[in-house]
Amino acid sequence: MPVNPTKFLNEVRAEAKKVTWPSRRTTLVTTAAVLAMAAGASAFFFIVDQAIGFGIRILFGLGG
pLDDT digits (tens, 9 = 90+) for 12-46: 999 999 999 999 999 999 999 999 999 999 999 99
Task: Classify residue 7: in a domain, yes or no.
Answer: no
The number of distinct structural domains making up the chain is: 1
Chain-centre distance of CA 34, in angstroms?
Answer: 7
Confidence of residue 10 (pLDDT cuts 50, 70, 90): very high
Task: Classify residue 12: in a domain, yes or no.
Answer: no
List CB contacts of 30: < 8 A, sequence separation 6 or more. 22
48: containing domain? 23-64
Is residue 35 within 8 Å of residue 41, measured between CB atoms?
Answer: no
Task: Classify residue 61: in a domain, yes or no.
Answer: yes
Is residue 34 within 8 Å of residue 40, measured between CB atoms?
Answer: no
Note the pLDDT of residue 62.
Answer: 75
Mean pLDDT of the chain: 92
Note the pLDDT of residue 1.
Answer: 67
Whole-angstrom CA distances from 33 to 10, 39, 41, 50 are: 37, 10, 12, 26
Q: Is the pLDDT of residue 64 over 70?
A: no
% of residues, the chain, pLDDT over 70: 95
